[in-house]
Structure 1
Amino acid sequence: MLAFFIKPLLTLNFKVMKRYFIITLTVISLLIYSCAGEGSYSKDDLLSNYSPEAISESFTEAEEILENQKDIDIPARSLNNIERKLIKEGNITFQSDNCKKTRALILHVANNLNGYLAKDDEYSSDYRIEHNIIVRVPSDNFDKLLVNISASIKEIDNQNISVKDVTEEYVDVEARLKAKKTVEKRYLELLSKAYSVGDVLQVEDELARLREQIESTEGRLRYLKDQVSLSTLNITFYQTIDVAETNFEFIEKLGNGFSNGFKGLLWFFIGLINVWPLLLFIGLSIWLVVRLVKKSSKKKK
C-alpha cells in the first residue's frame, strides 16, 4: 500500500510531492487508529460479560463459601498460639456486721480496680437487711477484687468461682464473620454489575439475608469480648437485727392497729355501697321467696 503512494512521488514536483506526503500521513494515521480501536470495549460491552449464567455462577460460589464456613475446624495447634479467652465469674455470700460500711468498702474497691457496680439492690425487714451487688472489673483485676473483699469478711457462707475457656468459640465466630463479609463484598460487586431488574432484586435479597447473619454474628462477638474483658462477681451480704434492737413500741403499734382496723371497716362499708344494686336485688329476691312460702303455707291450712 505504501508503494502505491510513494511511486508517483518520484515523478512529481515539490508542491505535488508535499500534497501526496500529507495525504499519505493522513491515511497511515487512520489505519493506525482503526487498528487500535479493535482492541477497545465500551461500558455496555464490559457489562455484557456478566450474563445471567455468570451471575448464577457467582451466586453458587458465594453459597459455597457460606456453606464451607459452617465446617470451619480450628486446629488445636493453632489455638495454642492464640491468647486464651477466659470468662471469669463468681458468687459470694456472707454476713456483715454493718451493711452500709460493707457496701461502701465494695464500692471503694471496685473504683480502685477500674470496675463498676452493674447491680445494687437492697431488701430489708424488721429482722434482716440484705444487699445484692454485682461488680464488674477488668479480668486482670478479678483476683484482686476477690482478695480485697474476702479480707474484710469474718466468715463466708458460700463462695463459687468459675472460669470458662471460650477461645475456640471466639476464634470460630471471628472466622465466620470474616467469611460472611467476604461473601457480602462479592454480592456488592454483583449488584454493581447486574444488568436486569431481576438480578438486582435477587442480589438485594441475598444481601439482606446475609447482613442479618452478619449482625447476629457481630452481636455474639461483642458479647464474648465483653465477657472476656470484664469479669463478674455477684456479692450477697446481709445483716441480722436482734428483736431488742428493733425497739418494739407496743403503744404505737397498738394505736396503728386501731387505726388500720377503722380504715378497714370504712373500706368495708365503701365496698357495700359500691355493690348496692346487687344487695338490693338479693334482698328483694329473699323477700319474695319468703312471702310466697308464707302464702302457700296459709292455703294448705
Structure 2
Amino acid sequence: MLKKSLFALIVLALLITACGGSQMNAPEAMPAEDMSFAESEAGSAAPEYVTSENTNTAGINVEAVPVERLVIKNAELAIIATNPTQNLDEIGQMADSMGGFVVSSNLYQRTLNSGAKVPQASITVRVPVERLDEALEQIKAGAVEVENENTSGQDVTQEYTDLQSQLRNLEAAEAQLMQIMEGATKTEDVLAIYNELVYKREQIEVIKGRIQYYEQAAALSKIDVTITADEADQPLQVGGWQPSGIAKDAIEALISALQFLAGAGIWFVLCILPVGLLIGLPLYFVGRYTMRARKRRKAAQQAEKVLPVENE
C-alpha cells in the first residue's frame, strides 16, 4: 500500500514538472525576440522530406521518420529615401498587414560631411516566409535608391532532425523508466528512478523548445532595413552657411519685433494711457486754472496803473 501511494505521488510530481517545464526550459542560445513567434505559423517551410539517422539515448534506439526540410530565410536592405520617418511607419504597417510584426525600430540623426543633420532610421520586422519576396519589393518601391540587398537561407534540417530523434529517444526512455518504477520494491530505488525521470523530463522540455524555435524561425522571415535620408533632397548648405536657415532666422526676428511692438501698444493703451489720464487731467485743469488766475491778476494790476494816470 505504501509503495502504491509513493508511486502515485511520484507520477503526480512528474506531471506537475512536465506542465511547468515547458515555460522554464526555453533554449538559452535563441534571441528573445525570436522566441515570440506565433505558434500558428510554425512548420510552413517547403515540404521536401529527408530521413534522419537513428540516434541512441540511454541505450534506446527509435526508428527515424521523415521530417520537413526547414530553411530559415532572412534578408537585409539598405535604402535611401526622401522621408525616412514615413518609410519607417510604412514598413511597420506592411509587416502587420502581412501577418507579421515589428521586432524593433529606431529613428536617429546622422551628420553629413557638410555639417547638416539628416534623419536616419533602422527597423527589423518579421513576415511570413511565403511573402518575403513581396515584402522586399514593397520596401524597395518606396525607396529612392537601394544601396544594398542581401537575402540568406540557413538549412537547419539536420539540426531539426537530430532534435526530433533525441526527443523520441528521451520520451521512450521516460516510458521505460515509468515501467521500471512500477516494479521497484525499495523506496531508495523508487527515489533514484524519480530523479532520473525529472532529469529526462527537463531534457525533453529543452529539446521541445529548440524544435519549436526552428519551426517558428522557418515560418517567419526576418528583414533588417536601414533607411538613410536622400542628401540631394536636403536644403542647400555651403560651408555651414544655410540660406534657408538665415531666411528663417530673419523671419523669426521680424515676427519677434512685431510682437514686441504689438505688446508695447497694448501696454500703452491698457495701462500707461489710463494712468497718464488719471494723473494728467487733474494736473492739466489745475495748471489751466492757475494760468487764468495769473492772467486776471496781471490784468487787474495793469488796470490799476492806468486808472491813476487818467485821473491826473
In the superposition, the TM-score normalised over structure 2's length comes to 0.52
The one of 117, 125, 131 equivalent to 2:121 is 131
In the alignment, the residues of structure 1 paired with residue 77 and residue 186 of structure 2 have an alpha-carbon distance, to the nearest angstrom, of 64
In the alignment, the residues of structure 1 paired with residue 207 and residue 244 of structure 2 have an alpha-carbon distance, to the nearest angstrom, of 55
Amino acid aligned to 2:90: L
Alpha-carbon shift at residue 73 of structure 1 (Å): 10
Alpha-carbon shift at residue 92 of structure 1 (Å): 0.7
Alpha-carbon shift at residue 212 of structure 1 (Å): 2.1
In the alignment, the residues of structure 2 paired with residue 68 and residue 91 of structure 1 have an alpha-carbon distance, to the nearest angstrom, of 45
Alignment of 1:230 onto 2:228? no
Q: In the alignment, which residue of structure 1 is the partner of 2:206?
A: 216
Amino acid aligned to 2:87: T
Alpha-carbon shift at residue 195 of structure 1 (Å): 1.6
When residues 189 and 122 of structure 1 are mapped into structure 2, their CA distance, relative to the original with a 3 A threshold, is same
The one of 48, 67, 70 equivalent to 1:85 is 70
Alpha-carbon shift at residue 184 of structure 1 (Å): 1.0
**Correspondence list, 1:217-296, <5 A:** 217-239=207-229, 240=231, 241-242=234-235, 243=237, 244=242, 247=245
Amino acid aligned to 1:105: E
In the alignment, the residues of structure 1 paired with residue 86 and residue 94 of structure 2 have an alpha-carbon distance, to the nearest angstrom, of 12
Please tell me whether the aligned partners of residues 62 and 169 of structure 2 are also in contact (alpha carbons under 8 angstroms).
no
When residues 73 and 232 of structure 1 are mapped into structure 2, their CA distance, relative to the original with a 3 A threshold, is farther
In the alignment, the residues of structure 2 paired with residue 149 and residue 117 of structure 1 have an alpha-carbon distance, to the nearest angstrom, of 14
1:83-138 deviations in Å (ceiling 9; x for gaps):
32110011111111101221232123212211111111112256131211111011
Task: Give the unaligned 5+ runs of structure 1.
Answer: 1-43, 45-63, 252-301
Q: Flag the structure with higher helix content.
A: 1
In the superposition, the TM-score normalised over structure 1's length comes to 0.54
Amino acid aligned to 2:245: N
In the alignment, the residues of structure 2 paired with residue 73 and residue 130 of structure 1 have an alpha-carbon distance, to the nearest angstrom, of 54
SS at match of 2:57: helix
Q: In the alignment, which residue of structure 1 is the partner of 2:175?
A: 185
When residues 246 and 84 of structure 1 are mapped into structure 2, their CA distance, relative to the original with a 3 A threshold, is farther
**Correspondence list, 1:1-301, <5 A:** 65-67=56-58, 82-124=67-109, 127-239=117-229, 240=231, 241-242=234-235, 243=237, 244=242, 247=245
SS at match of 1:174: helix
- The alignment-based identity, stated in percent, is 26
Amino acid aligned to 2:57: L
When residues 245 and 122 of structure 1 are mapped into structure 2, their CA distance, relative to the original with a 3 A threshold, is farther
In the alignment, the residues of structure 1 paired with residue 244 and residue 217 of structure 2 have an alpha-carbon distance, to the nearest angstrom, of 43
In the alignment, the residues of structure 2 paired with residue 92 and residue 228 of structure 1 have an alpha-carbon distance, to the nearest angstrom, of 19
SS at match of 2:185: coil
Please tell me whether the aligned partners of residues 177 and 214 of structure 1 are also in contact (alpha carbons under 8 angstroms).
yes
Alpha-carbon shift at residue 190 of structure 1 (Å): 2.3
Alpha-carbon shift at residue 68 of structure 1 (Å): 5.2
SS at match of 1:130: strand
Please tell me whether the aligned partners of residues 85 and 107 of structure 2 are also in contact (alpha carbons under 8 angstroms).
no
In the alignment, the residues of structure 1 paired with residue 244 and residue 177 of structure 2 have an alpha-carbon distance, to the nearest angstrom, of 72
Q: CA RMSD in A?
A: 3.2
SS at match of 1:247: helix
When residues 186 and 246 of structure 1 are mapped into structure 2, their CA distance, relative to the original with a 3 A threshold, is farther
Amino acid aligned to 1:124: Q
In the alignment, the residues of structure 2 paired with residue 151 and residue 182 of structure 1 have an alpha-carbon distance, to the nearest angstrom, of 53
Alpha-carbon shift at residue 189 of structure 1 (Å): 2.4
In the alignment, the residues of structure 2 paired with residue 246 and residue 68 of structure 1 have an alpha-carbon distance, to the nearest angstrom, of 79
In the alignment, the residues of structure 1 paired with residue 92 and residue 80 of structure 2 have an alpha-carbon distance, to the nearest angstrom, of 17
Name the count of aligned residue pairs: 185
Alpha-carbon shift at residue 246 of structure 1 (Å): 8.4
Q: In the alignment, which residue of structure 1 is the partner of 2:8?
A: none
Please tell me whether the aligned partners of residues 139 and 230 of structure 1 are also in contact (alpha carbons under 8 angstroms).
yes
